[in-house]
Structure 1
Amino acid sequence: MVKLLVINPGATSTKFGVFDEERCIFKKAISHSEQDLSRFATVFDQYPYRLKLIEDELQRQQILLEDFCAVVARGGLLKPIQGGTYIVNHKMLQDLKNAVRGELASNLGAVMAYNIASRQGIPAFIVDPVSVDEMLPVARISGFSELERVSLFHALNHKAVARKAAAQLGKVYEKANFIVAHLGTGISVAAHRKGRVIDVNDCKDEGAFSLDRCGSLPAYQLVRLCYSGKYTFEQLKQKIMTDGGMYSYLGTRDIREVEKMAVEGNEKAKLLIEALTYQVAKDTGSQ
């Protein structure tokens, strides 16, 4: 029996499951409120808190850590790499801890997996991290020679959904073409050609706005705002990355609350839902 612990940390939740081969025998999603996470100075500081939640739940379910053969996690912001499965090593952990390419909740996946695995003497892996980079050279051109478009997206979910869709259609992912849209805290829309993601929007920089990210912004207006003296670099980065999107208009990051507002007659909420749908559709069409 091959028993795996699988961990998927997201911006507002920690999901994990136990698998016997390919059969899921237990899964859990723990939501984290803004209040839960606001006490941590950095994303990496959340690591012991999230790890304890996982271990406490496994203990409640009487699932023993020593029964696992390996621990597998969602990968974080690493150096650009091809899609696939990678063993967690010390260099990877150091890059994630130092947030070499930035802070994301997915950075915690490899760290938590390695912590559990190393205590049990078993391997830890990551699969299709957000830094998967298979973009075509032509897709990297931004229109400004000093800036290049980069590949940072929800690769794990993209490729998993594409493989599932291919199987349902009686096809093989590596021989099929898809457009995949991931709608979450961040939104990414990608063109998949024969198993490779040849173009995708970096959801930190471009594409549709989401619950708390701005997505693409009018460049000239943004430059003027940067030099207005109104915000520091860190303040503006926070506005774009965590206080933008729906949150900047309505003060909530919960799409269920936005939908409730719309149902109750809030015209701004209705317009924002329409705008989000419109922007995702536009990104999908452009791929």
Structure 2
Amino acid sequence: MKIFAINPGSTGMKAALYEDLEMLWSESVAYSQEEIDRCKGSPEKEELFRFTNSVEILKKHGNGVSELSAVVGRGGLLRPISGGAWIINEEMAADLRSCRYGRHASNFGGLIAKRISEEAGSIPAFIVDPVCVDEMSEVAHVSGMPNLPKRSVFHALNQKAVAYKVAQKMGKHIDQCRFIVAHMGGGVTVGAHCEGKVIDVNNGLGGYGPMSLERAGTVHAWDLIDLCFSGTYSRKEIERMVVGEAGVAAHIGSRDFRKIVERIHSGDVKAKLIVDALAYQIAAEIGSRAVNLYGKVDAVILTGGLANSAYLCDLIRDRVSWISEVICVPGEDELRALVEGAYKVLSGEEEAHVYEKE
């Protein structure tokens, strides 16, 4: 079975073709500023451009849509749904296209996959573990403001894929495991994985939890209210203070973690303090997830781009190794995770979910 995976980003596209679970090729395309400007303000134009670009990537590698057995796209912002593979139907496409639950580049993943499916003669089309996966327990949704319940927005695709792989290495089924998974990158999310479900997790998109390379994480609400009504800042400026120009980058002016660690080894006291704080906050969130799991944890898993830093992982391990074994699974392979999710359905291991509107 040839499975085509697509992962749209804000300024480009990643794609890969697999034969079952063996990758045939992968490609990352960066769009020019001219291409981005041409589509600005017109979601219809952007959708068509991204679809055309996806087909061109296939052709570049000597493949066509007629060869495909299935297509899978990175899921976008939808109503809260459970994990796994979801069939891309008209109801899902309508919610993605209207941006009913928010605007994000990943919304185009499902839309492009659906178009390719139709072009190929209605082959199966899926999304897998989108950021809106919500398996949180009822009590975990409750906040101190009835009209602002806690929302589940996290790195579901990578967290679940990594948990599944670690379970396999342990010789267990995911339904038998209790993990704490910390995805550490541009955003940081820490999930309590209980027998295949993420029963609690911090909201990594402008929500709460640890700071990250460029996101603020939890801040004092009263101080944030004061900033909002000071008359000094626009809404956009406040948004950038929370996501984009916050976190480690706001403190020390860099998002390049390797260079940041080099600065620490060269004696940069401030850089050391901020990275210590980053590790401290991630470790504290891991500790919270241990409470969610009643202290019964098979492993603490560190993943995402920042898990490539032994320096950071060691700082976190020093604080949380009392909870359980700490396993580092650096980086992320979202294209493979998408394919694995689709393959589970195509091979009969799992059933795909069917999306319905609220």
The alignment's TM-score, normalised by the length of structure 1, stands at 0.87
Match of 1:179 in 2: 180
Report the 3-state secondary structure (helix = DSSP H, G, I; strand = E; otherwise coil) of the residue aligned with 1:143: coil
User: How far 1:147 moved relative to its partner?
Assistant: 1.8
Q: Which moved more, 1:5-14 or 1:185-194?
A: 5-14
Alpha-carbon distance in structure 1 between the residues aligned to 2:181 and 2:41: 31
8 A Cα contact 1:11 1:185, kept in partner: no
Distance 1:117 1:276, change over 3 A: same
Q: CA deviation at 1:48?
A: 5.0
Larger deviation: 55-64 or 202-211? 55-64
- Cα separation, 2, equivalents of 1:230 and 1:99: 30
Q: Unpaired segments of 5 or more residues in structure 1?
A: none
* 1:24-103 pair list within 5 angstroms: 24-30=23-29, 39=37, 41=40, 47=47, 50-103=50-103
Given that residues 187 and 204 in structure 2 are in contact (C-alpha distance below 8 angstroms), is that contact kept between their aligned partners in structure 1?
A: yes
Partner of 2:221: 219
Partner Cα separation in structure 1 for residue 149 and residue 279 of structure 2: 27
Change (3 A) 1:133 1:107: same
Q: Does 1:162 align with 2:163?
A: yes
User: Residues 43 and 104 of structure 1 are in contact (CA less than 8 Å); yes or no, is this contact kept in structure 2?
Assistant: no
Where do residues 134-153 of structure 1 align in structure 2 (5 Å cutoff)? 134-153=135-154
Cα drift, residue 170 of structure 1: 0.3
Q: Is the 8 A contact 1:136 1:199 kept in 2?
A: yes
Q: 1:285 pairs with 280, 287, 307, which one?
A: 287
Distance 1:269 1:100 in 2: 40
**248 and 103 in structure 1: CA distance in 2 versus 1, 3 angstrom threshold:** farther
CA contact under 8 A between 1:43 and 1:103: conserved in structure 2? Answer: no
Paired with 1:265 and 1:31, the residues of 2 have a C-alpha distance of: 36
Distance 1:126 1:256 in 2: 33
1:108 matched residue in structure 2? 108
> Over residues 56-108 of structure 1, what are the superposed CA-to-partner deviations in whole Å (9 max), with x where a residue is unaligned?
43333212222111111121110011112111122222222332222223222
Instruction: Tell me if structure 1 keeps the 8 A contact 2:210–2:281.
Output: yes
Give percent identity, aligned residues only: 40
**What CA deviation, in whole Å up to 9, does each residue of 1:144-198 have, x standing for no partner?**
3332111111111111111111000000011211111112222110001011110
- Between 1:51-60 and 1:130-139, the stretch displaced more is 51-60
Partner residue of 1:6?
Answer: 5
Give, in whole Å, the separation in 2 of the partners of 1:61 and 1:67.
Answer: 12
Partner SS for 2:227: helix
Q: Give distance in 2, aligned partners of 1:42 and 1:243.
A: 24
Contact 2:86/2:128 (8 A) holds in 1: yes
> Against the structure 1 CA distance between its residues 266 and 60, is the aligned structure 2 distance closer, same or farther, given a 3 Å change threshold?
farther
Alignment partner of 1:247 out of 243, 249, 252: 249
Residue of structure 2 aligned with 1:276, choices 268, 275, 278: 278
Which 5+ residue runs of structure 2 have no aligned equivalent? 290-358
Task: Give the CA deviation at 1:11.
Answer: 5.3
- Taking the TM superposition and a 5 Å limit, the aligned residue runs for 1:9-20 are 9-10=8-9, 14-20=13-19
**Which SS does the other structure have where 1:147 is aligned?**
coil
Change (3 A) 1:13 1:260: farther
Residue type matched to 2:276 in 1?
Answer: E
Distance in 1, matches of 2:158 and 2:61, equals 27
- Deviating more after overlay: 53-62 vs 82-91: 53-62
Residue aligned with 1:59, SS: helix
CA displacement at 1:212 relative to structure 2: 2.2
Cα distance 1:146–1:278, how it changes in 2: closer, same or farther (>3 A)? Answer: same
Please, what is the CA RMSD of the aligned residues? 2.7
Q: Secondary structure at the match of 1:148?
A: coil
Contact kept in structure 2, 1:211 and 1:244, CA below 8 Å:
yes
Pairing of 1:187-226 with structure 2 (within 5 A): 187-204=188-205, 205-226=207-228
Structure 1 window deviating more from structure 2 (36-45 vs 185-194): it is 36-45
TM-score of the two chains, using structure 2 as the length reference: 0.71
Letter of the 2:171 counterpart:
G
Contact 2:85/2:128 (CA < 8 Å) preserved in 1?
yes
Distance 1:282-1:13 versus aligned 2 partners, 3 A rule? farther
SS in 2 for 1:220: helix
